[in-house]
Amino acid sequence: MTSSITLKELLQVVKEQNLSKDQLERYRDELSVLFAEVHLRMAEMEKMEALFFVDVKKNNTIEITDIGIKRLWRAKKEGQELIELSHTSKAIEKLLSSLKSRLYSLY
């Protein structure tokens, strides 16, 4: 991710209640960029998951359920990353909502 500020940094600064309108707008913009980057990466990971699913189905001699394959995927490094990205996305969404509410109260 190429954003100039990390999510953890944004979490800290957004907690500050005395942010100016300009600061709130800047952090909202930073979060929007980060949100987009997270979702682009999630799309890549979901494509990898789909290919993993097909590969397991095609190359296994024993029957594995779809849920079993999903669990295998989630245990892989890439699956772990997708889990983390999913939760990061939700956190960013909440922060964006908070920032928007704070901005609207200033208008």
Q: Flag whether 1 is in a domain.
A: no
User: Which of 67, 72, 80, 81 lies closest to 52 in space, CA to CA?
Assistant: 72
Q: Flag whether 5 is in a domain.
A: no
Q: Look at residue 4 in the predicted model and tell me its pLDDT.
A: 60
pLDDT tens-digit map of 26-84: 989 989 999 999 999 999 999 999 999 999 999 988 899 999 999 999 999 999 999 99
For the cut 60, the answer to whether the pLDDT of residue 3 exceeds it is: no
Q: Flag whether 12 is in a domain.
A: no
Q: Flag whether 8 is in a domain.
A: no
pLDDT tens-digit map of 81-105: 999 999 999 999 999 999 999 888 8
Q: Cα(81)–Cα(91) distance, rounded to whole angstroms?
A: 15
Print the domain residue range for 56.
Answer: 21-106
Number of separate domains in the chain = 1
Q: Look at residue 104 in the predicted model and tell me its pLDDT.
A: 87
Q: Cα(38)–Cα(91) distance, rounded to whole angstroms?
A: 11
Q: Flag whether 60 is in a domain.
A: yes
Q: Flag whether 13 is in a domain.
A: no
